[in-house]
């Protein structure tokens, strides 16, 4: 068995056991399913892609409800290592399939958000629903057809505000707008929706968040976005037409963007970790292939050009892991450098693992581009991370803005 490119050094016994359970789940359930059912990923009927038993098996090892308070039946994690735990599990599941990992981590991240900002009666209603139903999914609705990058910089000016608007009315709010590129958006049961509630101020001062059940009147799912990779997570587009949200479903009024670090920072760590999992899978499959496939009268790894590429893949993976570990610890410690480090980790992972995946495909030769062989999947999944939770360039802008807040570029203003 090929030794994993990861170490249990420094992990508690609980985390080691969790990692081992995840690895066994991936090896025994996820990878065999992917290999035997590679065509299902390409189904244009989103409901037919991932069979229910996959999430049911995830439930058996206790990873589906991470972050849900114990009082509601979830798996509450140690505060000092929660983000590191999210990263560890995300990497292992993404080694099997990054779409499956994303399907689950949205629940973890939204659970963290709800336990901090949702009123107790809503937690008591929805957390038990999540716990009892393995197919229950949640989604975080921020990105819009226009201005997706504005929220990441953010341009804190009125003209960069969200197009989705919420207007106060008797007993609640009327929401109109559209959200796009939302993870789990197509088949979630519960949504956190962001909307502009004060058009006279900047995004940080005028954005509110609302808890919206799927069956809310005026809410509809417009379509499933057909992505290149991560296809076992059904990305969606949502429409709100005079949707009424009662007052008690308002999570944060006007300050939602400024308070969303509880979701965003762990989110970027998880993105980097999922990306790392894709890289580990690419390396494992490639290392096995080049040690067993014969070309030119000798196994591939004995060709120097092949050996050099394999060494490069391994080095990139370890470099990503080192930065990811440091960034995760900074978030768990609430360190002042956490915001900069999470963007570095997300950006660095997306660029370096893309190169790892490219090496993997090329080292497989003609087999590398055959759908039924399976290695092309790591390249498709890796390319998605260049665009998730901010593009690479936007991440770099954020890094510089965090490092040099007084000198970094400013918003140029509306076009005249």
Q: Is pLDDT at 259 greater than 50 in this prediction?
A: yes
Residues 322-332 have pLDDT tens digits of 999 999 999 99
172-182 and 165-169 as β-strands: parallel, antiparallel, unpaired? antiparallel
Choose the weakest-confidence range: 17-26, 147-156, 213-222, 269-278.
Answer: 147-156
Distance, CA of 124 to CA of 134 (rounded, Å):
18
The mean pLDDT value for 90-115 works out to 96
The mean pLDDT value for 355-375 works out to 97
Instruction: Name residue 236's beta-bridge partners.
Output: 182, 224
Q: Is pLDDT at 147 greater than 70 in this prediction?
A: no
The mean pLDDT value for 146-157 works out to 69
For 379, residues 6+ apart whose C-beta sits below 8 A from its C-beta are 357, 358, 360, 361
What is residue 331's predicted lDDT score, i.e. its pLDDT? 96
Distance, CA of 75 to CA of 109 (rounded, Å):
13
Instruction: Phi first, then psi: give them for residue 145, nearest 5 degrees.
Output: -55, -30
Q: Helices marked H in 175-260 — which ranges?
A: 203-206
Q: How far is CA 147 from CA 128, 161, 165, 295, in A?
A: 35, 8, 14, 50
For 32, residues 6+ apart whose C-beta sits below 8 A from its C-beta are none
What is residue 10's predicted lDDT score, i.e. its pLDDT? 75
Q: Is 10 left (phi over 0), alpha (psi -120 to 50) or beta?
A: left
Other CB atoms within 10 Å distance of the CB of residue 353? 30
What is residue 1's predicted lDDT score, i.e. its pLDDT? 38
Q: What is the CA radius of gyration of the chain?
A: 22
Distance, CA of 386 to CA of 238 (rounded, Å):
23
Instruction: Name residue 213's beta-bridge partners.
Output: 190
Reported as a pLDDT band with limits 50, 70 and 90, residue 277 is: very high
Higher pLDDT, 258 or 67: 67
What residue ranges define each of the domains in the chain, with the CATH number in brackets? 13-135 (1.10.540.10), 139-252 (2.40.110.10), 261-403 (1.20.140.10)
Q: Is pLDDT at 352 greater than 80 in this prediction?
A: yes
What is residue 7's predicted lDDT score, i.e. its pLDDT? 62
What is residue 405's predicted lDDT score, i.e. its pLDDT? 85
Instruction: Name residue 99's beta-bridge partners.
Output: none
Asked if 193 and 210 count as a contact pair (C-beta separation under 8 A), the reply is yes
Q: Is pLDDT at 2 greater than 50 in this prediction?
A: no
What is residue 156's predicted lDDT score, i.e. its pLDDT? 77
Distance, CA of 148 to CA of 142 (rounded, Å):
8
Q: Is pLDDT at 376 greater than 90 in this prediction?
A: yes
Average pLDDT of the chain is 93
Q: Is pLDDT at 264 greater than 50 in this prediction?
A: yes
What is residue 416's predicted lDDT score, i.e. its pLDDT? 59
The mean pLDDT value for 206-228 works out to 97
Residues 118-131 have pLDDT tens digits of 999 999 999 999 99
Single pTM value for the model: 0.94
Q: Is pLDDT at 305 greater than 50 in this prediction?
A: yes
């Amino acid at each position: 068995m090929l030794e994993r490119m990861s170490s249990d050094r420094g992990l508690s016994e609980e985390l080691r056991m969790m990692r081992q359970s995840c690895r066994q789940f991936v090896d025994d359930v996820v990878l065999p399913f992917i290999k035997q059912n590679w065509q299902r990923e390409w189904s244009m009927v989103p409901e037919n892609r991932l069979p229910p038993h996959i999430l049911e098996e995830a439930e058996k090892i206790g990873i589906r409800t991470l972050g849900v308070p114990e009082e509601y039946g979830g798996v509450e994690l140690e505060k000092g290592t929660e983000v590191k735990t999210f990263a560890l599990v995300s990497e292992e599941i993404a080694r099997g399939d990054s779409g499956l990992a994303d399907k689950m981590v949205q629940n973890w991240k939204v659970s963290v958000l709800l336990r901090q900002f949702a009123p107790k009666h809503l937690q008591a209603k929805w957390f038990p629903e999540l716990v009892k139903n393995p197919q229950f999914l949640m989604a975080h609705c921020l990105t819009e057809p226009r201005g997706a990058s504005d929220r990441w910089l953010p341009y804190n000016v009125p003209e960069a505000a969200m197009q989705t608007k919420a207007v106060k009315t008797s007993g609640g709010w009327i929401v109109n707008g559209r959200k796009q590129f939302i993870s789990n958006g197509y088949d979630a049961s519960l949504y956190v929706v962001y909307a502009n509630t004060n058009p006279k101020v900047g995004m940080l001062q005028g954005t509110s968040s609302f808890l919206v059940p799927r069956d809310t009147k005026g809410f509809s799912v417009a379509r499933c976005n057909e992505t290149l990779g991560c296809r076992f997570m059904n990305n969606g587009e949502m429409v709100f037409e005079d949707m009424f949200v009662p007052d008690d479903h308002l999570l944060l009024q006007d300050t939602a963007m400024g308070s969303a670090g509880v979701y965003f920072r762990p989110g970027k760590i998880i993105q980097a970790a999922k990306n790392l999992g894709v890289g580990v899978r690419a390396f494992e499959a490639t290392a096995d292939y080049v040690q067993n496939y014969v070309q030119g009268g000798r196994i591939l790894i004995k060709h120097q050009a092949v050996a050099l590429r394999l060494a490069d893949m391994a080095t990139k993976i370890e470099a990503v892991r080192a930065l990811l570990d440091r960034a995760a610890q900074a978030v768990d410690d609430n360190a002042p450098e956490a915001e900069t480090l999470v963007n570095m980790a997300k950006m660095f992972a997306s660029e370096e693992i893309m190169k790892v995946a490219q090496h993997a495909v090329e080292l497989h030769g003609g087999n590398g581009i055959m759908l039924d062989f399976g290695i092309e999947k790591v390249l498709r999944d890796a390319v998605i991370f260049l665009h998730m939770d901010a593009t690479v360039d936007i991440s770099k802008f954020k890094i510089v803005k965090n490092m040099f807040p007084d000198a970094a570029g400013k918003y140029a203003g509306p076009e005249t």
